[in-house]
Chain A
Amino acid sequence: MKKLINAPDAVVDEALAGMVAAHGDLLKVVEPNVIVRADAPRQGKVGVISGGGSGHEPMHGGFVGMGMLDAACPGAVFTSPVPDQMLAATKAVDGGAGVLHIVKNYTGDVMNFELAAELAQAEGIEVASVVIADDVAVQDSLYTAGRRGVGGTVLAEKIVGAAAEEGQDLAAVTALCQRVQDNVRSMGMALTSCTVPAAGKPTFEIGDDEMEVGVGIHGEPGRERRKLASADEITEALMNPILDDGGFGQGDRVLAFVNGMGGTPLLELYVVYNKVAAMCRDRGITIERNLIGSYITSLEMAGTSITLLKLDDDLVRLWDAPVNTAALRWGV
């Protein structure tokens, strides 16, 4: 294992200390390992929190700040945080208007957030939860864990954070988050695996001429292994299920998000985006906003995910609203 670390057990704590050193004007870290907006709690504002395993940086800690998240709870690498963290985060950001938990649909995340929500409610804090499950590579079913929460989470956190910032109440912010969830679809692929620091070796072996299609964000194998193809072919393999499943077509306005998994250069992401744009153009879909870069990652995995969100005037306005976080910043 070749990594810029001091010790596998210390990675998360040292990275958090580094974030505080770098972005102390935006955020602070409180016990037990919760990243909180520097000026929290904001009286009368709905608190918006999220969390998940570490290893997906900048998500979620890089999205804490004005116009996005009020707090983020980082777990161990690829391991959901514990309820104590979400409870502490909920209490730290509650300004009397309630708190929304944005939860990615993984069994562990859902269970730990559920426990935390029960504990917070027992302490008199109003809590609502929305589960993001946007990965079309996974068949949705009542009998399985359901779809994973992936790229759509980033978009939901930005849009919902803007709504909370402008003073919308908990019911409205929750309904908005659900609307984003209902209108967003994603799919990802990997060229390489990644190494969890505590595990010390790559999660899976993969040949030089192979790729994993339908991966999530935990370095796990995907739905199937295929022979490596061109960027255009890969983009089609990701876009077609997204377009079909989301019912995107003629006249739709979308936000297109091309995400890097951690080890893929921006140069290649723009090659992917070029094909995404062409495919949308061919179908009469207008890309009104875009986001290109590595925002929800799997450590050093090489690969990409594509996310499309159907837009309306309201969502465009909230996307454009000012945001001031370590990873996303505009309008300020």
Chain B
Amino acid sequence: MSAFDSAALRRFVDLFADRLRERRDELTQLDSAIGDADHGTNMDRGFTAARGKLAELDASADLGALAKTVGMTLISTVGGASGPLYGTFFLRLSTSFGDRAEAGPAELGAALRAGLEGLVQRGKAELDDKTMVDAISPAVDAYDAAAGDGIGPALEAAAEAAATGRDRVTPLVARKGRASYLGERSANHQDPGATSATIMVEALRDAVAEG
């Protein structure tokens, strides 16, 4: 695929919603170990709502309008920290896409970068704090490095980097979010936020591959 269009964005949200439903209990299980046992439920509720809102939008809706609808819906339905964080991510994608009907490799990369910056701003998390940033930040870097090969290969690289980032921080002590209250006990538990973020990048990769 040479361009990321509104059909791809809709497929991406659909696929991500499907996988959150399938893996809801796994995410909640991870969150039970070091958080408060609600991550899977909240993400499932939010993306099911977002998918519903997208279905109401006209087929001609541009990338910016679609991403904005997802972001606003997440902020209004998810709650917890994930609502503002994932919501901000999609709102920044929206601003970056603007009224484009489709984005090329560089534009998609810029949008993902803007989303990452929004996450960091809203959550004040840095690399190694053991959060979703640890999956998304390397994913965006890997995307940029491979963007010259096109969107498909760049997203392949991004998904691989996200999974590597997720696993890399498992041994660490969490410094942000509810897991941080456990101190040393949070070490050697896989982070639920980094896990859902990896599922998101994988869904984006697969939505583009299916196109």
Contact = CB atoms under 8 A, between A and B. Distances in A.
A108 B77 CA distance: 13
Contacts of B94: none
Contacts of B177: 107, 145
Given A107-B177, A138-B181, A220 B83 contact: no
A196 interface: yes
Contacts, number: 117
Interface string A106-127: 1110011011000000000000
Contacts of A81: 79
Interface residues of B, number: 33
16 contacts: A75-B80, A76-B38, A76-B79, A79-B79, A80-B79, A80-B83, A84-B75, A107-B177, A107-B178, A112-B83, A138-B180, A196-B38, A198-B28, A199-B41, A203-B37, A220-B37
Contacts of A330: none
Interface of A: 53, 75-84, 106-108, 111-112, 114-115, 137-139, 143-145, 148, 196, 198-199, 203-204, 216, 218-224
B154 to A, nearest CB: 30
Interface string B79-91: 1111111000000
Nearest to B181: A138
Interface in B166-211: 175-178, 180-183, 185
B78 interface: yes
Interface of B: 28, 32-38, 41-42, 45, 75-85, 122-123, 175-178, 180-183, 185
B176 A111 contact: no
A218 B177 CA distance: 13
A295 B17 CA distance: 37
B185 A112 contact: no
Contact of A224 (B42, B122, B185): B185
B140 to A, nearest CB: 21
A106 B82 CA distance: 12
B84 A108 contact: yes
Contact of A82 (B78, B123, B182): B78
A contact patch SS: loop
Residue among A82, A137, A148 with most chain B CB within 10 A:
A82
Given A139-B183, A196-B38, A198-B41, A82 B77 contact: yes
B84 A198 contact: no
Nearest to A83: B75
Nearest to B77: A82
A148 B179 CA distance: 12
B182 A219 contact: no
A199 B77 contact: no
Which of B80, B178, B180 has the most chain A CB within a 10 Å cutoff?
Answer: B80
A198 B178 CA distance: 19
Contacts of A218: 35-36, 178
Given A82-B77, A115-B84, A199-B28, A220 B38 contact: no
A73 to B, nearest CB: 10
Contacts of A221: 33-34, 182, 185
A204 B175 contact: no
B169 to A, nearest CB: 15
Contacts of A137: 181
A76 B84 contact: no
Contact of B36 (A82, A112, A219, A223): A219
